[in-house]
């Protein structure tokens, strides 16, 4: 058995994703490479004046491509997106779940769950009374149903979990799925995240919190991580799922391997419900933990996909954290980009899409840009790959995910080359 530091090695063998930048992971990656924003005005419902009316919306998605009409009616859009992304990933991995279902699990995180169902139910409750509620609204609402419906749709019977750690949810889903495989609890996991929060309730709530950008006349330019003019994040929806697999199992079935999950780190800020650790100590500790788990040093890191939400406090705090974890001089030598500049902030799904993009960046030797970075903040003084992507040979990369409440999750990913040492 191939081991890393005496433990089972975990590799990525499949990718699936539906995002504001595309309805497959390949389309998403192509648009992110090209620096194309997926943010647009909300047209599905009327947004009152004064409430942010721009978002990263999935466009042209038909759940009936992945399930029958009856199943679609009983479930929330967030479950539709999760099933679709997982189905794509399983197909990409050429994974036969039925042949080994008890050894294949599913871990799909979300920050909110079935928010659309909740909003519809509240309106019906007060407009028509409790007797008119959909009998499936509870099961459509609860957060675990993204993973549960995916497991039932695809037939996995291994570990089934849901992380609900806000914007760190899917980063933790990937990290914890890696731990399950290392521990021998599963041989493969469908791991990632999903969110579908584009509702009046969410736009109003995040808007009154002053968390969202107010650049309402410039949707495509509103998400601008590390820029001096950033004023909040863009609420977005979507799902990304990765197939993680024990290395020898993947090799035995002749799977195409994208990358290896080398390390995982977690920490908590214990600071504030929404504001990040301003010094950066605790996110830095998660990065250091992940590098130690991977057996690498800051000198080995060739790229960081930042959490980079486009909030004034968050981006400057992450910059300080990167300097603490990678060293002041080292941090200035490592390219960092935020693909939220293109996708917006997919909340609980964001860590998974960024991990997938990091994998593809290493595979293709191309770093995605941070778009809309026209007036750099002096407090954010690293190499953020501004506005145009670039070619780069990267063997080891970091993907950061930080969530409301002080949840920090960091993955260290390694490029896979044919013939990598056993």
pLDDT of residue 127: 85
Over residues 157-179, the mean pLDDT reads: 97
Q: Is 345 a catalytic residue?
A: yes
pLDDT of residue 419: 57
Q: Token digits for 185? A: 């609890």
Q: Cα–Cα distance between 238 and 56 in angstroms, integer?
A: 9
**Digit-coded pLDDT (tens) for 342-388:** 999 999 999 999 999 999 999 999 999 999 999 999 999 999 999 99
Q: Cα–Cα distance between 300 and 373 in angstroms, integer?
A: 27
Q: Enter the pTM of the model.
A: 0.95
Residue 400 has pLDDT above 90, yes or no: yes
336 phi/psi in degrees, rounded to 5: -130, 135
Q: Token digits for 283? A: 């996110």
Sign of the four-CA dihedral 168, 173, 178, 179: positive
Residue 146 has pLDDT above 60, yes or no: yes
Over residues 113-133, the mean pLDDT reads: 86
Over residues 85-111, the mean pLDDT reads: 98
Q: Token digits for 288? A: 């250091």
Q: Cα–Cα distance between 202 and 196 in angstroms, integer?
A: 10
Residue 54 has pLDDT above 60, yes or no: yes
In this prediction, residue 274 has a pLDDT band, given cuts at 50, 70 and 90, of low
Annotated catalytic residue, options 21, 80, 345, 380: 345
In this prediction, residue 421 has a pLDDT band, given cuts at 50, 70 and 90, of very low
Q: What 3-state DSSP class applies to 54?
A: strand
Q: Is 332 a catalytic residue?
A: no
Annotated catalytic residue, options 21, 80, 106, 167: 167
pLDDT of residue 75: 95
pLDDT of residue 2: 55
DSSP secondary-structure letter at 114?
Answer: -
**Digit-coded pLDDT (tens) for 303-349:** 999 999 999 999 999 999 999 999 999 999 999 999 999 999 999 99
Residue 1 has pLDDT above 60, yes or no: no
Spell out the domains of the chain, with CATH numbers in brackets: 3-252 (3.40.47.10), 264-412 (3.40.47.10)
Residue 275 has pLDDT above 90, yes or no: no
Residue 4 has pLDDT above 80, yes or no: no
DSSP for 323-363, written as a single string? HHHH-HHHHHHS-EE-THHHH-B-GGGHHHHHHHHHHHHHH
Annotated catalytic residue, options 80, 307, 380, 407: 307
Could you tell me if 35 and 342 are in contact, meaning their C-beta atoms sit under 8 angstroms apart?
Answer: yes
Over residues 402-412, the mean pLDDT reads: 94
pLDDT of residue 5: 65
91 phi/psi in degrees, rounded to 5: -65, -40
Q: Is 307 a catalytic residue?
A: yes
Mean of per-residue pLDDT scores for the chain: 95
Of 42-51, 120-129, 135-144, 375-384, the one with minimum mean pLDDT is: 120-129
Neighbour count for residue 312 (Cβ, 10 Å): 15
% of the chain beyond a pLDDT of 90: 86
Residue 59 has pLDDT above 50, yes or no: yes
**Digit-coded pLDDT (tens) for 190-228:** 999 999 999 999 999 999 999 999 999 999 999 999 999
Neighbour count for residue 397 (Cβ, 10 Å): 26
Residue 272 has pLDDT above 90, yes or no: no
DSSP for 245-298, written as a single string? EEHHHHHHTT----EEEEEEEEEE--S-SSS--SS-HHHHHHHHHHHHHHT--G
pLDDT of residue 118: 87
pLDDT of residue 279: 87
User: How do strand 366-367 and strand 104-109 relate by DSSP bridges?
Assistant: unpaired
């Amino acid at each position: 058995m191939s081991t890393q530091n005496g433990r089972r090695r975990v590799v990525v063998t499949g990718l699936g994703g539906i995002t504001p930048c595309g309805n497959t992971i390949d389309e998403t990656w192509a648009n992110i490479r090209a620096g194309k924003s997926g943010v647009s005005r909300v047209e599905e419902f009327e947004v009152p004046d004064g409430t942010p009316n721009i978002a990263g919306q999935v466009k042209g998605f038909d759940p009936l491509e992945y399930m029958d009409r009856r199943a679609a009616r009983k479930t929330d859009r967030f479950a539709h997106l999760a099933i679709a992304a997982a189905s794509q990933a399983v197909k990409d991995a050429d994974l036969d779940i039925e042949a080994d279902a008890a050894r294949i699990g599913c871990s799909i995180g979300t920050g909110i769950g079935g928010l659309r169902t909740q909003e519809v139910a509240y309106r019906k409750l007060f407009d028509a009374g409790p007797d008119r509620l959909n009998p499936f609204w509870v099961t459509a609402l609860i957060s675990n149903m993204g993973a549960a419906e995916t497991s039932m749709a695809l037939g996995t019977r291994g570990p089934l979990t849901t992380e609900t750690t806000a914007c760190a949810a899917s980063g933790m889903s990937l990290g914890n799925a890696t731990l399950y495989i290392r521990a021998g609890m599963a041989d493969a996991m469908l791991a990632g995240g999903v969110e579908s929060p584009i509702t009046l309730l969410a736009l109003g709530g995040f808007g009154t919190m002053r968390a969202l950008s107010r650049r309402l006349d410039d949707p495509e330019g509103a998400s601008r991580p590390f820029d001096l003019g950033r004023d909040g994040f863009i609420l977005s929806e979507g799902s990304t799922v990765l197939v993680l697999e024990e290395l020898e199992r993947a090799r035995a079935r002749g799977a195409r391997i994208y990358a290896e999950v080398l390390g995982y780190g977690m920490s908590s800020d214990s600071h504030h419900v929404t504001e990040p650790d301003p010094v950066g100590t605790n996110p830095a500790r998660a990065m250091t933990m992940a590098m130690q788990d991977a057996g690498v040093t800051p000198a080995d890191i060739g790229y960081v996909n930042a959490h980079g939400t486009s909030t004034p406090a968050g981006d400057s705090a992450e910059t300080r954290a990167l300097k603490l974890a990678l060293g002041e001089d080292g941090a200035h030598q490592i390219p960092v980009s935020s693909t939220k500049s293109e996708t917006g902030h997919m909340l609980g799904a964001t860590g998974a899409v960024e991990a997938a993009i990091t994998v593809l960046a290493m595979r293709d030797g191309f770093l995605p840009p941070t778009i809309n970075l026209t007036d750099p903040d002096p407090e954010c003084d690293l190499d953020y790959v501004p506005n145009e992507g670039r070619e780069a040979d990267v063997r080891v990369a970091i993907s950061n995910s930080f969530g409301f409440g002080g949840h920090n999750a960091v993955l260290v990913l390694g490029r896979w080359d044919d013939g990598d040492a056993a």
